[in-house]
């Protein structure tokens, strides 16, 4: 497979980066997390002050690939030190914005060669770096092809995998009763009972924020419910990271008017049941954050009820996918009719320290297994 021409530049001009990114994303099949909506906010609000490197891939004079890498140092197991480059993220120092559906931005039809060209370029040109991290890429994002390629002094390692769960909205009925009939018998009975109990206080309704001010107000409500629930479990919740909140406040402020931000509220006459903070990109809804009202009545299921109404609401809007994203929570498996695998892939140089690390980790795992088995 022929390689494209690849170059790297330090990012110093946000306006120039924006121009390149917006032009290429029109010719790319990309997620919201690869779009300028997410990337631009990340560069401005999170990556400022970091060593940000833009990789450009060219097919003659045509731009066919882009990737933003940040350098950072990692220490593992107290003794392992790794000089690392991260694609489109910096999961250190409180700056982890938890990207999903990540990857290089590549022109349609050029994906395999873009990835191969970038991988070879990174190995060749960034000799001082030990690892290159591609977090939360879809299983079919060219890595199936790349994992079998022989690299001289490097190898690919899958550090983690997780299924992302979503609802193919075209494949579900249009109303609550018919949709619930597609779920397991026990769960649909519980959700129907919960809906009946809520409706004793008034008709259930779902509303979408209509302007930036209302969206920020919905986000305030979500923050309150989310934080209350996590504090009751003895954990701080997402909003304990002030930089995370500031980043998403900026996303709402900057991208709401483009139609990429959706804030939903489910309520009845007496109270709010739940809030959802979603991204909308090319008819794909990504559920990023939730806030649900707790109740002493365990028959009430605010999360399930909120998601069910949101699923049907987005289907009625003509959208295609309602994505609960990665994780093995039971509610995702029960509500969704499809899934795909995400991979956390590391391109790692063959270093003696990494060999020692692997041997030590394998030994510890072996001892733990033996202990569990009673040896």
Residue 28 within a domain: yes
- Cβ contacts of residue 177 below 8 Å, gap of 6+? 192
- The pLDDT, as a whole number, for residue 1 is 54
Question: Is residue 360 domain-shared with residue 224, that is, in the same domain?
Answer: no
- The pLDDT, as a whole number, for residue 255 is 98
Q: What angle do CA 15, 19, 20 make, to 5 degrees?
A: 120
Question: Is residue 17 domain-shared with residue 135, that is, in the same domain?
Answer: yes
pLDDT tens across 124-155, in order?
Answer: 999 999 999 999 999 887 666 777 777 878 89
The one-character DSSP state at 234 is T
Question: Is residue 60 domain-shared with residue 101, that is, in the same domain?
Answer: yes
Residue 114 within a domain: yes
How far apart (Å, rounded) are the C-alpha atoms in residues 272 and 157?
45
Question: Is residue 234 domain-shared with residue 205, that is, in the same domain?
Answer: yes
- The pLDDT, as a whole number, for residue 176 is 94
Question: Is residue 195 domain-shared with residue 321, that is, in the same domain?
Answer: yes
Can you give 88-139 as a three-state secondary structure string? CCCCCCCCCCCCCCECCEEECCCHHHHHHHHHHHHHHHCCCCCEEEEEEEEC
Residue 363 within a domain: yes
Question: Is residue 126 domain-shared with residue 147, that is, in the same domain?
Answer: yes
- The pLDDT, as a whole number, for residue 3 is 73
Question: Is residue 207 domain-shared with residue 306, that is, in the same domain?
Answer: yes
Helices (H) and strands (E) in the chain, counts: 11, 13
- The pLDDT, as a whole number, for residue 311 is 98
- The pLDDT, as a whole number, for residue 270 is 86
Q: Are 6 and 64 in contact (CB under 8 A)?
A: no
How far apart (Å, rounded) are the C-alpha atoms in residues 96 and 211?
28
How far apart (Å, rounded) are the C-alpha atoms in residues 227 and 310?
21
- The pLDDT, as a whole number, for residue 315 is 98
Residue 107 C-beta-side C-alpha neighbours within 13 Å: 14
pLDDT < 70 stretches in the chain: 1-2, 77-78, 142-144, 352-358, 360-375
- The pLDDT, as a whole number, for residue 100 is 97
Q: How many domains are there within the chain?
A: 2
Residue 168 within a domain: no
Residue 353 within a domain: yes
Question: Is residue 208 domain-shared with residue 150, that is, in the same domain?
Answer: no
* Greatest Cα pair distance in the chain: 67
Residue 348 within a domain: yes
Cα-Cα end-to-end distance for the chain: 51
| Domain hosting residue 64, numbered range | 5-163+341-372
How far apart (Å, rounded) are the C-alpha atoms in residues 149 and 340?
23
- The pLDDT, as a whole number, for residue 161 is 94
Question: Is residue 35 domain-shared with residue 80, that is, in the same domain?
Answer: yes
Count of other CB atoms within 10 angstroms of residue 325: 19
Count of other CB atoms within 10 angstroms of residue 149: 13
Residue 95 within a domain: yes
- The pLDDT, as a whole number, for residue 147 is 72
Question: Is residue 355 domain-shared with residue 224, that is, in the same domain?
Answer: no
Question: Is residue 147 domain-shared with residue 216, that is, in the same domain?
Answer: no
Q: Are 51 and 70 in contact (CB under 8 A)?
A: yes
- The pLDDT, as a whole number, for residue 150 is 76
Lookup: tokens for 96:
């982890």
Residue 302 within a domain: yes
Kindly report the CATH number assigned to the domain that includes residue 358: 3.40.630.30
Among the residues of the chain, which ranges form H helices? Answer: 14-25, 36-45, 111-125, 143-146, 176-180, 185-199, 212-232, 242-255, 302-316, 330-335, 352-372
Question: Is residue 282 domain-shared with residue 308, that is, in the same domain?
Answer: yes
How far apart (Å, rounded) are the C-alpha atoms in residues 168 and 282?
14
Lookup: tokens for 6:
């690849």
């Amino acid at each position: 497979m022929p390689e494209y021409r690849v170059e790297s530049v330090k990012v110093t001009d946000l306006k120039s980066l924006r121009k390149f990114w917006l032009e290429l994303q029109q010719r790319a099949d990309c997620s919201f997390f690869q779009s300028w909506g997410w990337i631009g906010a990340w560069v401005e609000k999170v990556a400022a002050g970091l060593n940000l490197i833009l990789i450009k891939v060219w097919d003659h004079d045509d731009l066919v690939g882009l990737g933003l890498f940040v350098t950072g140092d990692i220490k593992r197991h107290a003794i392992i030190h790794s000089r690392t480059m991260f694609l489109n993220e910096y999961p250190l120092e409180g700056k982890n914005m938890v990207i999903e559906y990540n990857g290089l931005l590549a022109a349609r039809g050029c994906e395999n060669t873009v990835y191969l060209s970038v991988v070879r370029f990174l190995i060749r040109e960034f000799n001082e770096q030990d690892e290159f991290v591609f977090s939360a890429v879809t299983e079919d994002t060219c890595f199936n092809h790349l994992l079998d390629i022989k690299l001289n002094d490097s190898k690919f390692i899958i550090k983690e995998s997780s299924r992302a769960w979503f609802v193919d909205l075209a494949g579900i009925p249009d109303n609550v009763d018919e949709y619930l009939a597609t779920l397991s018998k026990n769960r649909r009975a519980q959700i129907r009972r919960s809906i009946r109990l809520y409706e004793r206080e008034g008709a259930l309704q779902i509303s979408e924020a209509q302007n930036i001010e209302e969206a920020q107000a919905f986000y305030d409500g979500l923050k309150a419910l989310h934080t209350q629930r996590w504090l009751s479990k003895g954990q701080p919740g997402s909003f304990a990271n002030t930089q995370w909140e500031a980043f998403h406040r900026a996303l709402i402020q900057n991208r709401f008017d483009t139609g990429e931000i959706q804030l939903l509220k489910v309520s009845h006459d007496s109270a709010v049941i739940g809030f959802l903070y979603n991204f909308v990109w090319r008819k794909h809804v990504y559920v990023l954050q939730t806030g649900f009202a707790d109740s002493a009545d365990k028959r009430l299921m605010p999360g399930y009820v909120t998601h069910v109404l949101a699923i049907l609401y987005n289907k009625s809007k003509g959208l295609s996918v309602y994505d609960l994203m990665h994780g093995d929570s039971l509610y995702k498996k029960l509500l969704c009719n499809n899934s795909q695998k995400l991979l956390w892939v590391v391109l790692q140089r063959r270093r003696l320290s990494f060999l020692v690390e692997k041997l030590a980790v394998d030994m510890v795992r072996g001892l733990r297994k033996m202990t569990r088995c009673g040896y």
